[in-house]
Homo-oligomer: A and B are copies of this chain.
């Protein structure tokens, strides 16, 4: 395909909002925003003087790229509403295969920024890893080209790899956040402010920028300090779930260091 200039969004959530902002700043034209909820589409569209309206109008806008950014469970429903057109159609999902788009009679791909977005919080998009995939090589090159305008970290990633990255993200982001939640609960019960462990959390994340996590591991399990582990487990007896998580993760840390 020739260069991508006109971009159209289907979906107006966090990912679409952030992508529209950086693509607009990179001199691409946001030509339309379409959503099942017209009001959300309207807000985002108006920021870029783009069209919003009925899905039938999509064809008229002659977009080069359609970015489909809706929750995974909604994608089939939304796909059925988009009239077949001449644009490259990409989704932004970490866990869906590119092939989910294959029933549309048009060129397809994936444009996946790996970050945890919230609408209100500014992020430095240049530092966000952006993964691109396309069925046709020339589409992949065109996607890569616009990706490089908005991020310094662009990777060509297959659907199979992206699935693993998504699982790795669940472990290192969703699950770690849940451990922060457990820590906060344990502290709050004793009237200890959560901020007391925030510097430790920051340093734990900072450390692994230069050190493999395996080498950065500290704590009772890593040094096989069974006495401390047993004391902690006894202390957690009144929270069976925390007890179970503590036991499993400690056990697994010990095992991983014996391999």
Which A residues have a C-beta under 8 Å from some C-beta of B?
72-73, 95, 114-116, 118, 121, 123, 127-129, 131, 153, 155, 157, 160-161, 163-184, 186-187, 189-190, 192, 194-209, 212-214, 216-222, 225, 227-228, 231-232, 235-236, 241-242, 244-246, 248-249, 252-253, 255-256
Q: Which 6 A-B pairs have the closest CB atoms?
A: A174-B219, A205-B205, A181-B213, A168-B183, A172-B183, A180-B213
In the bound complex, residues from chain B placing their C-beta under 8 Å from that of A178 are 213, 217, 221, 249, 252-253, 256
Cross-chain contact B208 with A180 (CB below 8 angstroms): yes
Cross-chain contact A208 with B198 (CB below 8 angstroms): yes
A14 to chain B, nearest CB (A): 10
Cross-chain contact A170 with B219 (CB below 8 angstroms): yes
Copy total for this chain: 2
Cross-chain contact B169 with A200 (CB below 8 angstroms): yes
In the bound complex, residues from chain B placing their C-beta under 8 Å from that of A214 are 181, 184
Which of A171, A183, A199, A214 is most buried by chain B, counting CB atoms within 10 A of its CB?
A171
With A115-B200, A116-B218, A164-B186 as known contacts, state yes or no: A176 contacts B174, CB within 8 Å. Answer: no
In the bound complex, residues from chain B placing their C-beta under 8 Å from that of A228 are 72, 95
